[in-house]
Structures are given as structure tokens and as C-alpha cells.
A and B are shown apart, each in its own frame.
Chain A
Amino acid sequence: MSQPLYLSGYWLLLLLFMPLAVYSGFRMLLGVMRKGEGGKERDWSVPQLEFETGAMSTVHRWDVRFKLASFLVLAFVVVSLQHHQTALAALLLAFCGYRAACIPWRRGFKRLLGMSGFLSMFLLMLPLTAVRQPDDLLLIFGQLEWLSFNLRGLDLAVLIILRATTVAMLMEPLLATAPLPVTLAGLSRMGVPQRITELLLITHRYLYVFVHEARRMQIGMEVRGFLKTSNIATLRTVGNFVGMLFVRSFERTERVYSAMMARGYQGHWPQPVSFRATTTDYYKTALCLALGILLLGCDRLLLVGG
């Protein structure tokens, strides 16, 4: 039998506000951090992947191929964890790794912000809609019998958030500690077709070009008094804006391609990066894999035990 626990309606309000609070808390944190940088506007900013600290941490010196392999395995281990205890341990380890890579926390927070909307949805919906099972602890608010707050659902939501946060925390040490071309070269050594990694580089490069172009167009629209609202005129203007962006980009592709041909492009680029693995790389990777196996092992043991 479920064990209903009767509470007053205030608790319901409190619990419903929790996801909202998490989400807006993140927004505020980011706003505070942005104020420190001189109060830049929100839109159109695409972060730089690579981050120059000048620091050469252990993670910076790690061979990219080994780093990629270890972090990918760890990411999949983390999302397979089924218990809070192990997921929390993984999160703490990820924080340690993050610290070891000498990356400012602001970048990690931005990543968390990117997911916060999606994850708030789970925090809101899972406790209310999780299927009632015999030994669930239910909170029922006053007369609202149909609306019960299932603590197992809340547990599930928290577990998902722990896993997502851990993987997000792994992303920064993985990507920010080497230039993107080097990371992608490492990826192509690991079996991803070189063509794909080259295309990623081109896209990444032109991303900033088009962001710049779009920002210019947007400034032009704003000085002409354009204000986004929910009406047909906005749709038409945004349609024209996007269409113009496409037309310009289609014309640009021809010029880019000619320029590439003129510089001797023959379907692939020379690979300037050469990798050499040292024993330390093997040690670091072995450490990561051992941690992963340990986490997964503990997790499965908990499953048997609990």
C-alpha cells in the first residue's frame, strides 16, 4: 500500500516553486557574474570553447586522444548510475577534476544554465506524475486527493539532475584545455571520419562570422524601431531576417569555396598536430577508467544490497 502523508496546501506551493527557484537562481547567478564583467547584453553571445589561463594543468598536458576516450567512457558510466550515493560521488569527483583543470567556475555555471530549463521540467513533473507504486511515500495536500507529491519521483528527478550536472562538469575540462582543432584531430585519430571533424571546424569558424553579421542586422533593425512582439508583423520581419541570413550565407559559400580552392584545398586539410603518448597519459587514463569501474561497481552492489 502507498503511505499517504497529509500536509497543508502551503507545502504544495513550496514544492511547486522549487523548480522555478532553481531556474531563476541560475539566471540570477549568471546575471551577477555578467555584471562583474561590465553588464553585457544577453543575446547573441557564443562562448569561446578554448580558454587561455596560461596554466598548464595535468589535464592540459594530457594527450587529447586519451583524454577524449577517458571522458567519453566516464560520461557513459555517469549516466548509467542508478543511485544517489554513487551519482553524488561522481559529481564530487567531477568537481575535483574541474578544479584540477584550472577553469573558472563561471564557465561551468553557464553550462548548467543551458540545461536548467529542461531539468526544471523534470523537477516539476516527475514528483507529480510518477506512477504510484506500493511502497512509495506520497505527500497529499489538504483536500487535493488527486494531486499527490510522489517522493520517489522527486528522487528520480534529483538523480537525473545529478547525472546531467556531472557530465556538464566533465565537458569543460574536456574541451577548454586544448584548442578545438587539436581536440578534433584527436577525435579523428579515434575513428571519427576526418571529413566530419574538418566540417565541424569550418562550421565553428563561420559561426562567429554569422553571429557578427546577424548582430549587425539586428542593430540595423533596432535603430529603425523594430520591437519583437507576438504578431504577424514580427513574424514577417523575423522571416525576412532569417531569409536574408540564408541568402547571404549561400552567396558566401561560393566565395569561401573559391578561396579554399585558391589556397590548394584538395578535399582534406593537412594535419599539423602529431600526437605522442607518454606513460603519464596511460596512468591518467587508467586512473579514470578505474574510477569509472569503481563507481559502476559500487552502484551495482548498492542495487543488490538495497
Chain B
Amino acid sequence: MHISDGVLPTTIALGCYAASAAICTWSVKRTRSEDLPKVAVLTAAFFVASLVHLPFGPTSVHLLIPGLVGALLGPSAFLAIALGLVLQCLLFQFGGLTALGANLLMMGLPALLAGLVFYRFKGTGRKQRIWVGALCGGGATIFSALLLAVLLASGGEDFYGVAKLALGAHIPVVLIEAGVSAMVVSFLLKVKPEILDIPFVMKEKP
């Protein structure tokens, strides 16, 4: 779910802009300059993956994949998500122009955390990696739903109901996200296990 314009108080929107600009700067610094174009190309792939809709009972949900982005890109994930969200806002109006900073924090922080958790606990076994992948996918979605609820609730007491509804609406998304993340990790372990070894941008030069 993307926050649209006009929902957040202006001070919160501006504060989120400042915070996400700072984290984005850090993320760019952590990425080697020759890797930046590669991150941009990968972001396009993540963007397309997030357009995939999955049916869940009567409704359908689309993939968010912050967990996977974090696991694959490490510290550059925040930059990748920034690029993706700016384009989603510009192309589809998914997420408002003034709420861009808030949306970025909401998706970017879980991705960074998921990356950290994945590299800390992935271990060496195949089963363990798949489980940690599912945990990162589901956990990142829960974290971003919580951030969304907090941001919505910042509008005042009247918004608590909406925040609760938004939180509840993420339950199916969490399940699907965890499932798909596990499947993607299992697929990557079969096909190209080296991209799960170390974050893309931390690789040594060949």
C-alpha cells in the first residue's frame, strides 16, 4: 500500500523527505560508483516483479519484495527502492509526490533490515537459507505494514481506525510474500547460488 498525497501532515511529510534523503545518501556512498548503473538496471527488474499480482481468495495482492531486494542488494537496497518508488509515483501515481519520503522510509528501512538479517543468519544449508528467505520476506512486509500504520496514525486520533485496517489488510500480503520469497530463494539456490552469497555491491572486483 502506498500513501497518497494529502494524508500525512505536511511537517511529517517533510521530515520523512529529509530522513530518506539522508539514508539514500548513505546508501549511494556504500555502493561503488561503477556498480551504480547495475543497481539501476536491477531496480527495473524489481519494479517489474512488483507488478506481479497474485490472487488471494476473492482479491488479488501484488508483490512488494522489499525482503528480496534487501537480501540481494544489501546496503544499496535503499537506493534501489528509492528509484523504484519515484518511478511508481511518476508513472502510476502509486504513492503521492509529497508522500514520497514517507513511502521510501516505509519500504526502504524493512529492506535494509531484511538484508542485514539475511546475511547474518543465512548459514550454509539449503533449507536454512530458504527459511531465512521466507522470514525476511514476511518480516520485511510486517515491518513496512507497521511503519505504514504509524505514519497513518501520525495524522491524529481520527486515523487510528484506518491505520488498523491498513495493518490488517497486510496479513494476506505477508503470507504470500513469505511464500514467494522462499520460492525465489530456492530457485536462485538451484540456478545461480552465487548471487545469494554476498550482497551484489560488496563483491570483489573480478
Contacts and interface: CB of A to CB of B under 8 A. Distances in A.
Interface of A: 43-44, 46-47, 49, 72, 75-76, 78-80, 110-112, 114-115, 118-119, 121-122, 125-126, 128-131, 152-153, 156, 159-164, 166-168, 170-171, 175, 193, 195-196, 198-200, 202-207, 209-211, 213-214, 228-230, 232, 234-236, 238-250, 252-254, 256-257, 260, 265, 267
A256 B7 CA distance: 40
B106 interface: no
19 contacts: A49-B91, A79-B13, A112-B93, A119-B4, A129-B160, A131-B158, A162-B6, A164-B4, A168-B96, A199-B36, A199-B83, A203-B87, A206-B45, A214-B51, A230-B54, A234-B55, A247-B192, A254-B38, A256-B41
Contacts of A235: 54, 176, 179-180, 183
Contacts of A163: 5-6
B83 A209 contact: no
A203 B186 contact: no
Nearest to A108: B93
Given A76-B98, A253-B42, A130 B180 contact: no
Given A195-B28, A232-B179, A114 B92 contact: yes
B56 interface: yes
Interface string B25-42: 000100001101111111
A164 B96 contact: yes
B166 A241 contact: no
Contacts of B182: 239
A193 B57 CA distance: 44
B204 interface: no
B5 A164 contact: yes
Contact of B54 (A162, A193, A238): A238
A168 B93 contact: yes
Given A167-B98, A171-B97, A250-B42, A78 B6 contact: yes
Nearest to A160: B6
A125 B161 contact: yes
A243 B93 contact: no
A203 B47 contact: yes
Contacts of A75: 5, 97-98
Q: Which of B84, B164, B183, B200 has the most chain A CB within a 10 Å cutoff?
A: B183
Given A76-B10, A129-B160, A206-B44, A267 B38 contact: no
B16 interface: no
Chain B interface size band reads: 35 or more
Contacts of B34: 257, 267
Given A110-B93, A235-B54, A248-B45, 13 more contacts: A49-B90, A76-B10, A79-B13, A79-B98, A112-B93, A118-B1, A118-B4, A131-B157, A196-B28, A210-B47, A230-B54, A238-B183, A245-B49
Nearest to A241: B52
A249 to B, nearest CB: 3
B184 A171 contact: no
Contacts of A193: 28
Contacts of A167: 5-6, 96-98
B105 interface: no
A121 B6 contact: no
Contacts of B45: 206, 210, 245-246, 248-249
A110 B92 CA distance: 7
Contacts of B19: none
A122 to B, nearest CB: 6
Q: Which of B68, B79, B184 has the most chain A CB within a 10 Å cutoff?
A: B184
